[in-house]
Amino acid sequence: MARLTYLDAGRVALAEEMRRDPAVWALGEDLGRGGVFGQYRGLVDEFGLDRISDAPISEACILGAAVGAAMMGTRPVVEMRFSDFALCAVDELVNQAAKARFMFGGQTRVPMVVREPIGMWRSSAAQHSQSLEAWYAHIPGLVVVCPSTPADNKGLLKSAIRCDDPVVYMEHKSLWPLEGEVPDDPDRLVPLGRASIVREGSDVTVVSWSQQVHIAADAAAQLAKGGVGVELIDLRTLWPWDKPAVLASVRKTGRLIVTHESVSVAGFGAEIAATVAERLHAELKAPVRRLGAPRIPVSYAPPLEDEVRVTADRIAAAAREMLARPQGPSDEKVEGESSSPS
Amino acid sequence: VVQETGSNIDIERLRGHHRLMQRIRAFERQALKGLTDKAVLGAIHPSIGQEAVAAGICAGLARDDILLSTHRGHGHTLAKGADPRAMMRELLGREGGNCGGKGGSMHIADFSVGMLGANGVVAANIVIAAGAAHAVRLRGESRIVVVIFGDGAINRGPFLEGLNWAAVFRLPVLFVCEDNGFAAMTRTKAMTGGDGPAARARAIGVPAGEVDGNDILAVESAAAELIDAVRSGAGPRFLCARTYRLTGHTGTDPAAYRPREEVEARWQDDPIARLGQHLRLAGVTDSDLAEDIAAAEAEMARAYDEALATPYPAAADAFAHVQDIGDPRTEAY
């Protein structure tokens, strides 16, 4: 075990995979100088500029070139800088990378990782703060990963690099400095598609991912003081998501809150809520709750920016409401439906 | 006019071009017939009148060189060596098509001959080609990459990004703009600023040539020169081959947006007829040329009949080749 930041865990993972497999290389803007957040710091010294490749500010070409290079037998790791900028390369990701294997009838594979840092970070406003993971979960052909801890950022990035299909890998910018224990073993992978049970409990299941897991953990600690047992599930991978883990937990607790930083409307929480409602309706002791951002862009000024945050207090309050309420349909106001701005 | 009255080798080479161009045309005419008969299922984009570009470019390529094409890609794919029987099955959505019936005409690909796919999105293939060339260089391979796109593609961002990328990294790629004058159903000039494809390429730092794309000999020699430069490690090159699309944008587009006289005049410049003139000058007889046409038509009619007799893929195939982790055979919902 080593104590590493989330940022360094990702850097170590990439370096280990590049040592292990000469086909792995990385490309993106500013990589020769360590990347915009320092996630590639020092790698060019070990691997050279051919394998830690700078790129022009040409998102479509960075991603499109990775598609071509992947089809030709290399395993590119693409740095998109901000998930917001990756929108300049949606054709290359959605129409090309995600579809090539299928559309060409299995003649080719596109083993690539697309790193798209997400989330709110230091008053970055509307074009540098988005969490668009649900978009990619919607696209057949893609794997979508949202790690929340240093250990997972190492183990999941390694699994993503070894995956033979395109992976959208979404690190949260606020988590870069987060420290944690990280296994040293270069062959210790975290499997894609498996959730982690962060905390066990029997009263309410809270499902989350990325930075929001830490906020949900604060809520769970708060609730524990009041005797409420939260089972907190960090989904880690959005596609494929760990349905067995979530369904087993909700079977046990009978209550589900899904919380994410991204917009609630058509967010991935809706998919989880719908699945649980379809499969476990009779076992639910309260209606499923979704706690995500309202459908407004992220602001710059802190009081405005804070309006989109789902706080630990809100999660705890929702859990208490669910526990207070006997079984039956809800008539309460649903999040995001308030008739006037508060 | 290029005179090719030399050796038997030259004549055989030209005769080979003639056979290939006739095969491309026969394939597309058969596909159009299949469209009328409702056996060809989706849109097809014929390249009738543009066969000299496909044949002339691919004449300079080896089997393991890489080619990327467009939605108008039947000719390029055949010229790279793909089997028309598998292609016809693909157009009919049948088992044994190049893509197992999953792609159709717009996604035709044959990786076994280095043909990395047609593409349904204009200019998308340019950046993929830059990346394929990047991989060739990273892996220390000696092959080259050629990407063919239309004149409409020069107005999309990936044209700028892909050419710049190849120039910056000095990649082994030949960009070929097959300039047929039309961007879908609009004259490209009406929607394009500046001095055209080659000028744009030069402005980005990619040396560019221009050629009469209906003259197979001119295309072949221009391409050969540029391919030599690319193979020698000189970095990317660009060729604008001016041609004309004798049919509509798709197999069902009557192309009423252009005068009939214009199209009739352009038929006088038919690249296959022009090659026929060269061959006659070199002593090839009319009956030899007719033999090439008959052979091509018979081959494609046979490919079509065989495809018609082949079943559709099993419905469960819709779930194959999507992804391993999160495989829809267990995780579709």
Give me the average pLDDT of each 10-residue run along chain B (333 residues): 60 96 98 98 97 98 98 98 98 98 97 97 98 98 98 98 98 98 96 97 98 98 98 98 97 96 97 97 96 98 98 97 94 82
Per-residue 3-state assignment (H helix, E strand, C coil) for chain A: CEEEEHHHHHHHHHHHHHHHCCCEEEECCCHHHCCCCCCCCCHHHHHHHHHEECCCCCHHHHHHHHHHHHHCCCEEEEECCCCCHHHHHHHHHHHHHCCHHHHCCCCCCCCCEEECCECCCCCCCCCCCCCCHHHHHCCCCCEEECCCCHHHHHHHHHHHHHCCCCEEECCEHHHCCCEEEECCCCCCCCCCCCCEEEECCCCEEEEECCCHHHHHHHHHHHHHHCCCCEEEEECCEEECCCHHHHHHHHHHHCCEEEEEEEECCCCHHHHHHHHHHHHHHHHCCCCCEEEEECCCCCCCCHHHHHHHCCCHHHHHHHHHHHHHCCCCCCCCCCCCCCCCCC
b/e map A59-92, b = 16+ CB within 10 Å? bbbbbbbbbbbbbbbbbbbbbbbbbbbbbbbbbb
Residues 6+ apart with CB under 8 A from B125: B68, B69, B70, B117, B119, B147, B149
B66 forms bridges with which residues in the sheet?
A: B145
Pairing of strands B237-242, B173-179: parallel
Burial of B319 (0-12, 13-18, 19+ CB in 10 A): middle
Collapsing DSSP to helix, strand or coil, B115 comes out as strand
| A25 φ, ψ (degrees, to nearest 5) | -150, 165
* Mean pLDDT of chain A, nearest integer: 95
Residue A290: CA count within 13 A, CB half-sphere? 23
B324 vs A contacts (CB less than 8 Å): 163-165
Nearest beta carbon to residue A65 from set B110, B131, B324: B131
Average pLDDT value for residue range A294-313? 97
CA angle (B90 as vertex; B86, B94 as ends), nearest 5:
95
C-alpha distance from A68 to closest chain B C-alpha (Å): 4
Residues 6+ apart with CB under 8 A from B307: B39, B85, B88, B89, B91, B92, B94, B97
In this predicted structure, the answer to whether residue A335 has a pLDDT above a threshold of 90 is no
- The pLDDT assigned to B275 comes to 98
Token pair listed for A335: 């999040």
CA angle (A237 as vertex; A232, A240 as ends), nearest 5:
115
Q: How many CB atoms lie within 10 A of CB B286?
A: 10
Average pLDDT value for residue range A26-41? 97
- The pLDDT assigned to A339 comes to 42
In the DSSP assignment, the letter for residue B49 is T
Q: CA quadruple B18, B24, B28, B34: dihedral positive or negative?
A: positive
Residues 6+ apart with CB under 8 A from A342: none
Residue type, A30: D
Cβ atoms of B225 and B195 within 8 Å: the answer is: no
Collapsing DSSP to helix, strand or coil, B96 comes out as coil
Inter-CA distances, B296 with A164, B20, B24, B34, Å: 41, 8, 8, 16
Q: Which chain A residue shows the shortest CA-CA distance from B328? A: A140
b/e map B51-66, b = 16+ CB within 10 Å? bbbbbbbbbbbeeebb
Burial of B184 (0-12, 13-18, 19+ CB in 10 A): middle
B158 vs A contacts (CB less than 8 Å): 60-61, 64
Give pLDDT tens digits for A265-280.
Answer: 999 999 999 999 999 9
- Tell me the C-alpha distance between B249 and B205, whole Å: 31
CB contact under 8 A, B128 and A107: no
Collapsing DSSP to helix, strand or coil, B150 comes out as strand
Q: Which chain A residue shows the shortest CA-CA distance from B64? A: A72
Nearest beta carbon to residue B323 from set A61, A96, A165: A165
- The pLDDT assigned to A336 comes to 47
CB contact under 8 A, A143 and B321: no
Residue B76 is inside which H or E element, if any?
A: helix B74-79
Give pLDDT tens digits for A98-110.
Answer: 999 999 999 999 9
CA B200 to chain centre: 22
Residues 6+ apart with CB under 8 A from A44: A31, A32, A34, A52
Q: CA quadruple B118, B119, B123, B125: dihedral positive or negative?
A: negative
CB contact under 8 A, A65 and B165: yes
For the annotated catalytic residues of A, the residue numbers are 128
A96 vs B contacts (CB less than 8 Å): 119, 121, 124, 128
A137 vs B contacts (CB less than 8 Å): none
| A232 φ, ψ (degrees, to nearest 5) | -100, 120
CA B323 to chain centre: 29
C-alpha distance from A153 to closest chain B C-alpha (Å): 18
Please count the residues of chain A: 342
